[in-house]
Amino acid sequence: MGIIRSSFTFMIGTACGIYVAQNYNVPNIKKLANTGLVIAKHLEENYRKPKKRDEDD
């Protein structure tokens, strides 16, 4: 009885997730995260402090 009770929430969550993904316009989280990383890298490169001249040697 323990394995059925412990996996019941997981099964209900999976079924609800499948239903929502099929019937509603859910954004692609992986694509959204990759876009955020690209923007963060772009901002870091543009606003990074310049290196000192004696560090270049």
Does the pTM surpass 0.75? The reply is no
Q: Shortest CA distance to 23 belongs to which of 31, 15, 11, 13?
A: 15
DSSP assignment of the chain, as one string? -HHHHHHHHHHHHHHHHHHHHHHS----HHHHHHHHHHHHHHHHHHHPPPPPGGG--
Answer yes or no: is pLDDT of 55 > 60: no
Which domain does 14 fall in, by range?
Answer: 2-55
Question: Which residues contact residue 26 at a Cβ distance below 8 angstroms, ignoring those fewer than 6 apart?
Answer: 20
Confidence of residue 56 (pLDDT cuts 50, 70, 90): low
Q: For the segment 4-43, what is each residue's pLDDT rounded down to a tens digit?
A: 887 999 999 999 999 999 999 988 899 999 999 999 999 9
Q: How many domains, in total, are found in the chain?
A: 1
